[in-house]
A and B are shown apart, each in its own frame.
Chain A
Amino acid sequence: DAGVIQSPRHEVTEMGQEVTLRCKPISGHDYLFWYRQTMMRGLELLIYFNNNVPIDDSGMPEDRFSAKMPNASFSTLKIQPSEPRDSAVYFCASSFGLAGVKETQYFGPGTRLLVL
């Protein structure tokens, strides 16, 4: 199994530019999560999907952030316009999701974003 795939692995952009992060979950997983890791705030959940539907986006910091999951094998996290404070490592994770059962989340390698 290829595991969770994220692209790009590194992204350097200038303030004001649009940034798109991509994620391919593990095949068969029906939950997908986006996390952000910073020194100041640690690891925090931004949004998660179940069967391609956003379930909880309460962690999305502001309207500049948006996420989509057009199908079971692809999700994007977009920042527009980007700001220096968005610099962080963004992780995508996926898991199975049987009703009433908690499942382990498996993480991708992360995208390290630097906004200048």
Chain B
Amino acid sequence: AQTVTQSQPEMSVQEAETVTLSCTYDTSESDYYLFWYKQPPSRQMILVIRQEAYKQQNATENRFSVNFQKAAKSFSLKISDSQLGDAAMYFCAYMGGGNKLVFGAGTILRVKS
């Protein structure tokens, strides 16, 4: 079974600085997608970014980018120019066969002003 590991329970960043959240996964599949979701205090799950495993180019969405290392099974999220509104729980998720999402335990991101 696939597993997703987020080794950082909590991270802090100064406003306007850059922070990187780590994620590793374990799978024997070759066709899969990876996602980062953001969960603010409202508990709404918001898609941040996604990466298709067959794509070598790292995905970017404005201030959010990923470092996808397929061989190492690593999928980190970089947030540039951090803003107060970025404070939330961030979940890394894996989607393989069957379109099911497997989530990591999450990383709480605190943004200091």
Interface residues of A, Cβ cutoff 8 Å to B: 31, 33, 35, 42-45, 48, 55-56, 89, 91, 93, 95, 97, 102-107, 109-110, 112
Contacts and interface: CB of A to CB of B under 8 A. Distances in A.
Contact of A55 (B31, B45, B95, B98): B98
Interface residues of B, number: 24
B95 A110 contact: no
B99 A103 contact: yes
Interface of chain A: mostly helix, strand, loop or mixed:
strand
B42 interface: yes
26 contacts: A31-B99, A33-B101, A42-B103, A42-B105, A42-B106, A43-B91, A43-B101, A48-B99, A48-B100, A55-B98, A56-B98, A56-B100, A89-B43, A91-B45, A102-B95, A103-B99, A104-B35, A104-B50, A105-B101, A106-B47, A107-B37, A107-B46, A109-B43, A109-B44, A110-B45, A112-B43
A106 B37 CA distance: 10
B99 A97 contact: yes
Nearest to B43: A110
A56 B31 CA distance: 20
A107 B45 contact: yes
